[in-house]
Amino acid sequence: MEPLWVCPRCGRTFANRNQTHTCADLDELGDRLAGVTPEVLALFERFRELVERCGPVEVLPEKTRIAFHVRMSFAVAIPRRRWLDGHLVLARRLEHPRFRRVETFSSRNHVHHFRLHTLAELDDELAALIAEAYQVGQQRHLGR
The pLDDT score that the predictor gives to residue 103 is 96
pLDDT tops 80 at residue 92: yes
97 falls within a domain: yes
The pLDDT score that the predictor gives to residue 31 is 81
Give dist(CA 103, CA 56) in Å, integer: 26
Higher pLDDT, 73 or 6: 73
The pLDDT score that the predictor gives to residue 21 is 63
28 falls within a domain: no
116 falls within a domain: yes
pLDDT tops 80 at residue 108: yes
pLDDT tops 70 at residue 122: yes
Query: CATH no. for residue 110?
Result: 3.90.1150
Please give the residue range of the domain that contains residue 59.
35-142
The number of distinct structural domains making up the chain is 1
The pLDDT score that the predictor gives to residue 133 is 97
Checking 32-41 for CB contacts under 8 A at 24+ apart, the result is: 32/61, 32/62, 32/66, 32/79, 33/79, 36/79, 36/81, 37/81, 37/82, 39/82, 40/79, 40/80, 40/81, 40/82, 40/83, 40/84, 41/79
29 falls within a domain: no
Residue type, position 27, single letter? D
The pLDDT score that the predictor gives to residue 53 is 97
User: With pLDDT > 90 as the criterion, what percentage of the chain qualifies?
Assistant: 60
Query: What's the rounded mean pLDDT across residues 64-74?
Result: 91
What is the pTM (predicted TM-score) of this model? 0.85
* Mean pLDDT rounded to a whole number for the chain: 89
The pLDDT score that the predictor gives to residue 25 is 62
State the pLDDT confidence band at 12, using cuts at 50, 70 and 90: confident
Question: Which of helix, strand or coil describes residue 24?
Answer: coil
115 falls within a domain: yes
State the pLDDT confidence band at 2, using cuts at 50, 70 and 90: confident
pLDDT tops 90 at residue 51: yes
58 falls within a domain: yes
54 falls within a domain: yes
7 falls within a domain: no
